Amino acid sequence: MTDPSPAPTWILLALAAPFLAALVAPTVHRLFGRAAAFALAAVPLAAFVGFLTLLGPVADGARLTTGFDWWPSYGVRFSLLVDGLSLVFALLITGIGTLIVIYAGGYMKGHPQAGRFMSFILLFMGAMLGLVLADDGITLFVMWEATSITSFLLIGFDHTRARARRAALQALVITGAGGLCLLAAVLLIGGATGTRTLSEVVATGDVIRGSDLYLPIFLLVLGAAFTKSAQVPLHVWLPNAMEAPTPVSAFLHSATMVKAGVYLLMRLHPVLGGTPEWTTVLPIVGGLTLLTGTLMAVRQTDLKLMLAQTTVASLGLLVLLVGVSTDAAIVGAVGYLLAHAFFKGALFMIAGTIDHEAGTRDVTKLGGLRKLMPITFASALVAAVSMAGLPPMIGFVAKEALYLGLDEAGRTALIAVAVAGNALMLVIGFAVALKPFLGPEVHTPKHAHEGPLELILGPIVLGAVGLGAALFLHGFSEIIVLPMAGAITGRPVEADLHLIPTYVSTPLILSIVTVALGVVAYLALTPLRAAVDAVVRGIGWGPDRGFDQIVAGLVGFASVVVRVVQPGRLEAYMAIVLGLAVVTLLAPLLLFGELPAWPAFPDLTAQEAVVILIAVSGLVAVVVARTRLTSIVSLGIQGFAVAVIFVLFGAPDLAFTQFMVETLSVVILALVLTRLALGERDHRPLRQKVVDAVIGGGLGLAFMLVLLKITQAPFDRTLTDFYDTYSRTIAHGRNVVNVIIVDFRGLDTLGEIAVVMITGLAILALVRVKARTPILPTPETGKRK
Amino acid sequence: MAAPDPNAPAVDIAAAMVTAPSTFADWLLILPVAVPLLTGAILVMVRHHTHLHRPLAGAGLAILLGLNLLLLQRVVTEGPVTMMMGGWLPPFGIAFTADVLGATFATTAAFAALVATATAGPSINTAERRYGFYPFLMLLMTGVTGAFLTGDIFNLYVWFEVLLISSFGLLVLGSEKRQIDGTVKYGILNLVATTLFLASVGLLYGTLGTLNMADIAAKARAAGPEAPLVTIAALLTFAFAMKAAAFPLNFWLPASYHTPTPTVSALFAGLLTKVGVYALLKVGVLLLGNQTGAFSSVLVVVAGSTMVIGALGALAGSDLRRILGWLVISGIGSMLIGVAVGTPTALTGSIFYAVQSMLVMTALYLAAGVIEARCGTGDLRRLGGLYAVSPLFAGVVLVLFFAVAGLPPFSGFWPKAILVEATLAADLPWLAAAVLVAGFLQTLAVGRVWLYAFWRGGPEGTPDGTLQLAGIGRIEDPADRIALVGPVVVLAGAVVLMGLVPTVVGGLAEDSARGLIDPAGFTARVLGATAP
């Protein structure tokens, strides 16, 4: 791999352009009306043309980087990388994006929020472009989540419908969870390789594969890729996302965003791929997704849902191929990814056009549109041929290539899965392209006619590209497919893609089998649909319902947790808080050897003993008192006893303060409580009393132990001596306590004075302010009061 | 301080006091406390002239913000600066010591308060003004700023008391029944926390013989085994964790934050718990980091469970402001990771998280105020249709919600990414998982709220596909509208800016973190510069 060279700086501008266009989109739409779509489409078109000019250098092996420091001291650089992989994605995003913006202009015509819709589409486009171009892991994460957010806004665009809202949240939650996996993966990769720059990461060779962190990184990357790229059973959000307006389905949920997961797997393939885990898990999940998607598609009658389920299937096929990990399989994956983007984008737009013009997209309510919508019919046929994997379309080439890859890898079971899946894709492709158009004309809710230019342009262009890619296969392969495959494998890839088979090869035989199976299934579509439907109904449960159950379960669990941790009773809060305080004090004392030495029994004088006895008896009285008044008075006894102890130990100031506080609090409490139920007995059950006693006793014991410990060590008298020395000489006060209060620590006193003032104000407010009435007009009151 | 008394024995004043007069620049340390205190006093004096309150308080807060910005600029260039109250040498007098952490928090708090107070015009009525809304507010800011800037642990206690009692006044203002209930729980539980804090300050003084923070940092590291410092550190951590509303000491917050007027809720959400977090960072890491390290595994569990329980609480809620209260708690968990892990990266993440959370949560409570003003309720079942009525406001709230959930490119994702990285690097994969799981649950919770209140066509029961907007009133007076909605927009702008340009707050967080893990440097700056 060559060392990166600097990329032209216009790439940053190309990335910024959709965001800027999104800002002005509503205004542009208001000013220019129908022409606004074409004006806005110029933005992605310009970027597309710009990216085209890079094809040459990149095909020659250049890897271009550019960017700017985002948070240098944290090692985050907003850096972009253009290589074979990101360039192809960038072309898809801007190219199909151009068509989609134009298409949306027609599709949303007359919608009151069409400008806002354009804005969201452009925001998404910028985010998606950033996602594939990002060279920095954090930037990748930012863009990844940005696509989830814009997808959320677009799926829920029709916000008054509950289904749309649910689908939007479901997509946000599932892909958001994947985003968190991606973040963790990026950070772990950074830990394992020492860099979060992807181009440097992929150059580290076997470092991650040889690291202990491989498995967690692998699983987290899968978590990100499988949610975004809708792998079973995380795929449920994608069919539900069809609640979005069709331009969104065509752009985000088939051509671009859902491929972000595959992109991530491809991007990290050089450093994660090829391990037993990789080549086992990916093909299994991918294969299951392929089969599930195609079977579910058969069951649908809604054109969009049929297509959405085959998108799930195609993503499964891509994951399967990337999982096989050989060069040939990767070439097959690249070819299929491109083919899919062309035909599926086109088919979605066609489904939208039918819906828009005929008023329904239920395939059983449509028919005979071929005369009314001939251009749409023709482009649908072209796309379906590609989807079915028939010549002369790129879909055929891709299918041959992927069969070759599976065949070379010798994965027979996967071949069977792929053949079955592709056969069903053929069925759906033609069901979408033929059923609405053939047969007798059916009465539709709207009188159908050909769509306007905006709606038919996209399918025509994509059909032409799909055809052109196959006809000019050599050039397409050299400048698009092989550079991209090379970026995925991490080394130059050789492959001989062909449109016209030169000999009877295994892939050709497999193709013929696929087509034969598909034709049979197409003819038996109605019974097949009924059979699949019966089975699905028989099971009766699916991951979609599972999602609801998980969310409901989470909310229910959360409610239980809240009831437990926030019971609403102050007594419970106090018991828990004080109980935990006991643990907080006792645990370190015991665990860290901070228990005091056993104290010698103090040599008490008679008066000391008496005072202590009074204090203790006061406490006992508090506990055994039958009424609250007795308790309060008894507490006062203990307080006065402590004050006397202060006197005995030579602290008259303290003692005086203590006397005042005790007197006042007893008087005030007693006064207040005479207003309340003073005589009330203690109604706590015995168990509660025991618990309270243990907590109270524990807290007393804990504080006693800490105090003992502290008094057993000599006290550092630096401050005391300083105050003694300078109280009189500098501060001119003989009472050290007073000098401390007014001078040495005067600021504390100022603060406390403020506290007293505020307390007074607060009490005044409590007493004087009447219960508030709504200040602002509300529906109930109507008027300001 | 008068000249030496001629009758007194000769003393060497230089041995006891700072002899050089304080430069004007040093006054910058105490002015952020003096200005709101004086403003508060003036407001009490002109209590009956309620029309003067708003301009006076606004001016006071604006000056406070300006002073804090100047101070911040100074500590970023010079490192911690100290001013000795009364001129007594450290550690004998009260030191005011600003470092990057304190100045950053003080500045953010002043900004959040200034913006939130802009909504007080329409949302606080005349009686509430007369009975002290603005004085309480200014004293609250005095306490908050004092707590962020003091360099003395007992003085920290005093500011805690000032802010507790002012918040008590703000909380009770209005005298609704549920307010009284909330105030009682808030008051009693917080008094317990404050009392435990006071007790541990006493124990610490008894053990180390000093109250100056820098001196504590030095002496705690030099102390022998006879000092029960782990126990004291545990009790201090307990008290601060309760102030910060860490699980399982968070009862007071969900019980009270939704009860006062939204303006007050917003101030509380932005300021109160963050003072607890600040104290945990300052005392738990800078001063007693050696001791709290002994029980860091407990803090890891507390941080993780606070994040997850908070997010679950938000998911279970049905009242807008109660949900926000749980989101505040969930965020506290993220801020505790720094204390629990103690590495520079983790501290950077936690501090970044705290700063952005001050703004985001303030903004969300103010937004809840707008919603309650327009719909007359914060009950999710009765909300709906707000997106159809005001799409831009809906977008602003969505930005704030995503910032809470840590979704990029909004402010919350940077600290989240840093915290995941820090916990993984510290070999605490479960804590990293807790950060991510909490983020997931928060996304689900805020998504649900937004779906109901904004996207749904109307209150619960609105027919599918229709709009029912009759329940949504209009704030008629354009000045009121600007006063109520403008602050939300300003704060959301800051939130977006912090996400797009992380270097400013991120750089301050990095500086703060570096300061926290360098107690020797802190001690040298405070004691070395002025010691005799």
Contacting residues of A for B506, CB less than 8 Å apart: 71, 73-74
Question: Does residue A713 belong to the interface with chain B, where contact is any CB pair within 8 Å?
Answer: yes
Which residues partner with B95 through β-bridges?
A: B84
Name the residue facing B417 among A183, A554, A568 (closest C-beta). Answer: A183
Residue A554: CB atoms within 10 A of its CB come to: 17
pLDDT, tens digit, for every residue of B371-381?
A: 999 999 999 99
Name the residue facing B173 among A181, A722, A765 (closest C-beta). Answer: A765
Question: Does residue B139 belong to the interface with chain A, where contact is any CB pair within 8 Å?
Answer: yes
Which of A153, A169, A180 should be substituted to probe chain B, the one whose Cβ sees the most B Cβ atoms within 10 Å? A180
Q: What is the mean pLDDT of residues B88-92?
A: 89
Looking at residue A782, what is its pLDDT? Answer: 36
Nearest to A525 by CA among A396, A457, A627, A423: A423
Rounded CA separation A236/A25 (Å): 32
Written in H, E and C, the secondary structure of A208-224 is CCCCCCHHHHHHHHHHH
Residue A146: CB atoms within 10 A of its CB come to: 22
Nearest to B406 by CA among A545, A180, A304: A180
What is the token pair recorded at B9? 């024995």
Which of A474, A499, A523 is at the close of a domain?
Answer: A523
Q: What is the mean pLDDT of residues A517-545?
A: 92
Asked if residue A402 lies in contact with residue A322, where contact means CB atoms within 8 angstroms, the answer is no
Which residues partner with A563 through β-bridges?
A: none
Give the residue, A664 or A777, on which the prediction is more confident.
A664
Distance of CA A478 to the CA centre of its chain: 37
pLDDT at B196 over 80: yes
Asked whether residue A337 is assigned to any structural domain, the reply reads yes
Rounded CA separation B232/A395 (Å): 73
What is the token pair recorded at A523? 């003819």
Rounded CA separation A492/A61 (Å): 9
Asked if residue B488 lies in contact with residue B366, where contact means CB atoms within 8 angstroms, the answer is yes
- Tell me the percentage of chain B whose pLDDT exceeds 90: 81
Nearest to B237 by CA among B296, B191, B189: B296
CA distance A763 to chain B (A): 8
Which of A635, A657, A681 is at the close of a domain?
Answer: A681
Indicate the average pLDDT of chain A. 91
* Residue A185 amino acid letter: A
Q: Which of residues 165-184 of A touch B (CB under 8 A)?
A: 165, 168-169, 172-173, 176-177, 179-181, 183-184
Q: What ipTM was assigned to the predicted interfaces of this complex?
A: 0.94
Nearest to A548 by CA among A261, A240, A308: A240
Q: Is the model's pTM score more than 0.90?
A: yes
pLDDT at B530 over 70: no
pLDDT at A682 over 70: no
Q: Which of residues 370-389 of B touch A (CB under 8 A)?
A: 373-376, 387-388
Chain B nearest-CA residue for A148: B407
Looking at residue A80, what is its pLDDT? Answer: 96
Which of A707, A769, A773, A780 should be substituted to probe chain B, the one whose Cβ sees the most B Cβ atoms within 10 Å? A769
H/E element holding A133?
helix A114-133
Question: Does residue B9 belong to the interface with chain A, where contact is any CB pair within 8 Å?
Answer: yes
| Structure letter (DSSP) for residue B131 | T
Name the residue facing B174 among A574, A723, A769 (closest C-beta). Answer: A769
pLDDT, tens digit, for every residue of A643-655?
A: 999 998 888 888 9
> What is the biggest distance separating any 2 CA atoms in chain A, rounded to whole angstroms?
118
Nearest to A13 by CA among A70, A75, A66: A66
Domain count, chain A: 3
Name the residue facing A562 among B154, B316, B510 (closest C-beta). Answer: B316
- Inter-chain contact A576–B251, Cβ cutoff 8 Å? yes
Question: Does residue B491 belong to the interface with chain A, where contact is any CB pair within 8 Å?
Answer: no
What is the token pair recorded at B449? 């709220």
Rounded CA separation A80/A136 (Å): 7
Rounded CA separation A325/A220 (Å): 19
Looking at residue A421, what is its pLDDT? Answer: 95
Name the residue facing B248 among A191, A565, A765 (closest C-beta). Answer: A565
pLDDT, tens digit, for every residue of B48-72?
A: 898 899 999 999 999 999 999 999 9
Which of A654, A681, A708 is at the close of a domain?
Answer: A681
pLDDT at B335 over 80: yes
Interface size between A and B, measured as CB pairs under 8 A: 358
Name the residue facing A573 among B92, B225, B251 (closest C-beta). Answer: B251
For CA atoms B469, B475, B478, B480, the dihedral sign is negative
Q: Give the domain ranges of chain B.
A: 24-524
pLDDT at B323 over 60: yes
Query: Do the bridges between strand A64-71 and strand A76-82 make them parallel or antiparallel, or are there none, so unpaired?
Result: antiparallel
Same domain, A407 and A340: yes
Question: Does residue A752 belong to the interface with chain B, where contact is any CB pair within 8 Å?
Answer: yes
- Inter-chain contact B135–A172, Cβ cutoff 8 Å? no
pLDDT at B1 over 50: no
Question: Does residue A68 belong to the interface with chain B, where contact is any CB pair within 8 Å?
Answer: no
Query: What is the rounded radius of gyration, in angstroms, for the C-alpha atoms of chain B?
Result: 23
Looking at residue B121, what is its pLDDT? Answer: 84
Top mean-pLDDT range of A462-471, B2-11, B175-184: A462-471
Q: What is the mean pLDDT of residues B274-289?
A: 95
CA distance A721 to chain B (A): 10
H/E element holding A784?
none
Asked if residue A113 lies in contact with residue A146, where contact means CB atoms within 8 angstroms, the answer is no
Looking at residue A442, what is its pLDDT? Answer: 87
Rounded CA separation B352/B359 (Å): 11
Rounded CA separation B55/B70 (Å): 22
Model confidence band, residue A139 (pLDDT cutoffs 50, 70, 90): very high
Rounded CA separation B401/B404 (Å): 5
Q: What is the mean pLDDT of residues A96-113?
A: 94
Question: Does residue B479 belong to the interface with chain A, where contact is any CB pair within 8 Å?
Answer: no
Name A405's Cβ contacts closer than 8 Å, sequence gap at least 6: A321, A324, A326, A327, A328, A329, A330, A331, A332, A333
Looking at residue B21, what is its pLDDT? Answer: 81
Name the residue facing B407 among A70, A145, A163 (closest C-beta). Answer: A145
Contacting residues of B for A555, CB less than 8 Å apart: 315-316
Looking at residue B8, what is its pLDDT? Answer: 52
Question: Does residue A712 belong to the interface with chain B, where contact is any CB pair within 8 Å?
Answer: yes
* Local structure of B80: helix, strand or coil: coil
Question: Does residue A446 belong to the interface with chain B, where contact is any CB pair within 8 Å?
Answer: no
pLDDT at A777 over 90: no
pLDDT, tens digit, for every residue of B141-180?
A: 999 999 999 999 999 999 999 999 999 999 988 777 888 8
Core vs surface per residue A454-467: b (16+ CB within 10 A) or e: bbbbbbbbbbebbb
CA distance A161 to chain B (A): 5
CA distance A776 to chain B (A): 6
| Structure letter (DSSP) for residue B51 | H
Q: Which domain holds residue A737?
A: 717-778
pLDDT, tens digit, for every residue of A261-308?
A: 999 999 999 999 999 999 999 999 999 999 999 999 999 999 999 999
Contacting residues of A for B251, CB less than 8 Å apart: 566, 573, 576-577
Chain A nearest-CA residue for B130: A765
Model confidence band, residue A773 (pLDDT cutoffs 50, 70, 90): low
